Structure 1
Amino acid sequence: MKRFLPQSLPSWILLILIAGLLTMQIATLSIVSRDRAENNNLLELFRLSERAYTLAKVLYGTPAPERKRLASALSNTASPISLSDQPAVTSAIAADDSLAELEDVLVARLSEFGVTDARIRRVSASNAIASSAGAPDPDAGIIERQLSDLADDFSQSDGLAASIKFNDGQWLNLVTPLAPVNPIFTAQTLPLFGSVAAIVIAMSIWAMRRLTAPYRALEQAVKRIGDDVKSPPLPEFGSSEYISAARAVNAMQTQLREYVADREQLAAALAHDLRTPLTRIRLRLELLRKSQLRQSLMHDLNDIEAISRSVIDFATYEIIDEEQEKLDFWSLVDSIADNYPQVVFDKPGQVSRGLICIGRPIALRRCITNLLDNAVTYGGKAHVSLTQSGNDILLVIRDEGPKVDEVFQPFRRVENSRNRQTGGFGLGLTIARNIARRCGGDIKLENDVKGGLRAELRIPLIT
């Protein structure tokens, strides 16, 4: 069931809005339909009362021999009138309270015209007299056709039959047709309701997308900050809630940037300051006689200096301010690969040329160099392929070394020993990944099915 429900807040808001509008519309139409039925019933009772009053008044002042002739003259197919010795409404018990009350009202109101009894009942359309209207005249105007259709509707609609007794024993029988009530939903109104509903839904979707657009931008900006803490700050405009959120995110980004910069400066300063005492130690070692202890100390000193250089590289690669520019990625990779005899291009005749990206040249060179260094150092040989994958440039570097797991953490090495001859200090891949992310790309490492480590560098392609 959950898979059919919306998964985002804007979708939920839109669903609730549309459901609320539909519920309100259905409730409104139901109330209107009920009120219209009640008002129409009251109006029909009023029409019957007025018609009975008029007929009783006219016939009461007419001599008895003339009453039937006058009643016949006033009768028509839609509203028949007759005088007889027996009532047309045979039942003296009304069908409902409203008709019983109307009977009492008529007797009280028409008593001055000699009326002593009144009976009312509802008659169905099957008892109504058929319309005498023939086929519609093709030359008839709009009003004439509408009047003809209305007469047809009246002749086929239900009605109210009344029998009114005069004090001389005669019964006045009359039928008043009920005005036809068209349904709310018809072939003419359904397209209108559908069009209005479609417009409301479309405007709701447009308004919701416009309202939530800043929040989608906020989400993308927060993701960008996760990849690059030095990304541009969020624009502070829009609704008050969004402005507050944007300001909070910008303040957080500023604090993170300052925190990272402090740590970078601290690491760089510490590694740099180590050079002076290391240099003094090296000079003092040179004064010692050649011995096994001197060689061991020199070896340890070289390791310490290498560690210092690695820490400085890791801490200062973000500090260097380098302008971005368009680069021919194939030329960049080819120029770096020339320095490695162990690097082989897969399918060299099919290498994709003309792959242009935007990035910092020195940083990207360093990123690719670190990847090739890692492949050559631990795999002995590197197989390189360069292709276009969708909107990205895809550089795949596959080595012939052992399978590994986590190698992105700082100071995490593929080779577990601390020997400088067999491995570095585990900072190269971390630096390479950070550089790739600064360019809008990323690096993915996985064990290749053919053995060894497979590194994939993706950089956005500029067309």
Structure 2
Amino acid sequence: MKWLLPRSLPAWVLLIVIAGLVAIQVLTLSIVARERVASNNVLDLFRLNDRSQSLVKLMYAATPDERKKVAAGLSVPPYVLTMSDTPAITTTIPDDDEMAEMEDIIVGRLAKYGVQEARVQRESPVKPDGASHQHKPLDRDDVGSIERELLDLAADFTKSDTLIASIQFNDGQWLNFIMPSTPLSPVLTIQNLPLFASAAAAVVLLSIWLLRRLTAPYRTLESAVERIGEDLKSPPLPEEGSSEYKSTARAVNTMQAKLREYVEDRELLAAALAHDLRTPLTRIRLRLELLRKSPLKTALMQNLADIEAISSSVLDFATPNSEDELERIDFWSVVDSIADDNPNVVFDQPKPARGLICLGHIVPLRRCVTNLVENAIKYGGTARLSLSQTAGNIVLTIDDDGPGIADDQMDKVFRPFMRVERSRNRETGGFGLGLTIARNTARSFGGEVTLRNRPEGGLRVTLTLPRARDLQAVG
């Protein structure tokens, strides 16, 4: 069931707002319904007391026969009124404390009019078995709105509880009358339901709008942190907005500055060491040239070449790309020239009618493609190149027939000096910096380098670079 729960903070806040809104609406409607029940009950008892006083004052001075005639004239359903020698309520035990108190009130207030006993009872409605309670005018088109409401209210009265009262005079005659309770209309109706729904929708929409405005800086923060992960030299975050966001942005900017300083110090250190090694290496090479040819000289010369290659790779890795303005480069020409210089590269793709233009610096870009091609040749013997383009990118695919790379090592091989022992080790060449330099260069131009094992065997390297016109449109 956890997958049903929201994953983001705005979704959680919105869920809490909606749940709170629903809870408040339900509680409010429940309270209103209870208050209406209590109010209707008090109103019914007031009507019962008022009707009792009116009828008793009208009847007490009349003779028994006159009372019956008056009762017959005043009896109009559902307000039934009768005079009899026996009470309509046979039990002397009240239904509850309210009914008992009401009986005492009636007797106390009407004792001076010859009332000596009163009985009050509430009964549930009985479904009518005739057609007298059916209101055919409700289905007629010529019925006005007021008449329709009156008929609907009369129908509601027939469905509500009834209050029965039996009041005894001093002469032993009983006054019995029935009156319906006030109908309890529902809190939610077809008329007011759209109002409740509109209010709830307005609250939800306003909450969504406020949440989006509240979380917008954090979405910007998320994008900025991702950008920092790709480029430490990206612009710092603006320290504006709420105090919490400003504190977070300030901390991120401080972290970025320290990381940039840390990386620059290490790059300068590596570049300085690689550069300073060139002088003693050159001296050693000159002195070796003075020695006679021997297996030892050949081995030393090979070791010296390895040291120079490592030094050159470290220098390429540690030297940041130029921060000068990017230039437009015909990427097809770069790939074609690299393929012509190496007989182990297969690239028979004709030049497209419209050139594949990217933005970058020619020297780092050539080094990037060369590293990827040489990597494929070293471990697969042959590099097969193909160029394609999408809506906004240029895609260079390099396939080889080598042993491939284990899936759990795909990301690790991009680390500096990282080599997969069983498949890509020092015996097959390389110092573990080629892929690192290639990916760093591609990312500095807004691109990416990805690796994937081919189903038929070997490795596929994909270099993606944004097309020049797309970069210019963004700028």
Give the superposition deviation at 1:392.
Answer: 4.2
Q: What amino acid sits opposite 1:252 in the alignment? A: M
Between stretches 12-21 and 30-39, larger displacement belongs to 12-21
> Conserved in 2, the CA contact under 8 Å of 1:401 and 1:453?
yes
Specify which of 439, 442, 452 is matched with residue 446 of structure 1: 452
- Distance in 1 of aligned mates of 2:24 and 2:50: 38
Give the superposition deviation at 1:370.
Answer: 1.1
Give the direction of change, closer, same or farther, for the CA distance of 1:325–1:95 in structure 2 (3 Å limit). Answer: farther
Match of 2:77 in 1: 77
Give the superposition deviation at 1:118.
Answer: 0.6
Specify which of 310, 315, 319 is matched with residue 316 of structure 1: 319
Match of 2:95 in 1: 95
Q: What amino acid sits opposite 2:176 in the alignment? A: N
- Distance in 2 of aligned mates of 1:181 and 1:74: 26
Q: Does 1:22 align with 2:22?
A: yes
Match of 1:384 in 2: 385
- Distance in 1 of aligned mates of 2:225 and 2:353: 34
- Distance in 2 of aligned mates of 1:189 and 1:350: 71
Match of 1:434 in 2: 440
Match of 2:265 in 1: 262
Q: Map of 1:385-400 to 2, 5 A cutoff?
A: 385-388=386-389, 392-400=393-401
Q: Map of 1:120-269 to 2, 5 A cutoff?
A: 120-126=120-126, 130-131=132-133, 135=137, 138-269=141-272
Query: Which residues of structure 2 form unaligned runs of 5+?
Result: 471-475
Q: What amino acid sits opposite 1:21 in the alignment? A: L
Deviations, residues 318-347 of structure 1 (Å, cap 9, x unaligned): 4x323235555434433433333322137x
> Conserved in 2, the CA contact under 8 Å of 1:330 and 1:352?
no
Q: Map of 1:233-382 to 2, 5 A cutoff?
A: 233-288=236-291, 293-318=296-321, 320-345=322-347, 348=349, 355-382=356-383
Q: How high is the TM-score relative to the length of structure 2?
A: 0.86
Query: Which residues of structure 1 form unaligned runs of 5+?
Result: none
Q: Between the two proteins, what is the percent identity of the paired residues? A: 58
- Distance in 2 of aligned mates of 1:132 and 1:11: 52
Give the superposition deviation at 1:95.
Answer: 1.7
Give the superposition deviation at 1:456.
Answer: 1.6
Q: What amino acid sits opposite 1:370 in the alignment? A: N
Give the superposition deviation at 1:437.
Answer: 2.5
- Distance in 1 of aligned mates of 2:353 and 2:463: 15
Give the superposition deviation at 1:432.
Answer: 0.5
Give the superposition deviation at 1:93.
Answer: 1.7
Q: What amino acid sits opposite 1:387 in the alignment? A: S
Q: What amino acid sits opposite 1:118 in the alignment? A: A
Give the superposition deviation at 1:85.
Answer: 1.9
- Distance in 2 of aligned mates of 1:276 and 1:132: 114
- Distance in 2 of aligned mates of 1:196 and 1:426: 64
Between stretches 337-346 and 134-143, larger displacement belongs to 134-143
Q: Does 1:401 align with 2:402?
A: yes
Give the superposition deviation at 1:398.
Answer: 0.8
Give the superposition deviation at 1:48.
Answer: 0.6
Deviations, residues 386-424 of structure 1 (Å, cap 9, x unaligned): 234575433210123343454323223565346xxx623
> Conserved in 1, the CA contact under 8 Å of 2:137 and 2:143?
no
Give the direction of change, closer, same or farther, for the CA distance of 1:138–1:383 in structure 2 (3 Å limit). Answer: closer
Aligned residues: 458
Give the direction of change, closer, same or farther, for the CA distance of 1:354–1:55 in structure 2 (3 Å limit). Answer: farther
Q: Secondary structure at the match of 1:135?
A: helix
Give the superposition deviation at 1:356.
Answer: 4.8
Give the direction of change, closer, same or farther, for the CA distance of 1:161–1:19 in structure 2 (3 Å limit). Answer: same
Deviations, residues 362-395 of structure 1 (Å, cap 9, x unaligned): 4333211211121223333211122345754332
> Conserved in 1, the CA contact under 8 Å of 2:64 and 2:173?
no
Q: How high is the TM-score relative to the length of structure 1?
A: 0.88
Give the superposition deviation at 1:215.
Answer: 2.1
Give the superposition deviation at 1:350.
Answer: 9.8
Give the direction of change, closer, same or farther, for the CA distance of 1:127–1:273 in structure 2 (3 Å limit). Answer: closer
Q: Secondary structure at the match of 1:126?
A: coil
Question: What value does the CA root-mean-square deviation take over the aligned residues?
Answer: 3.0
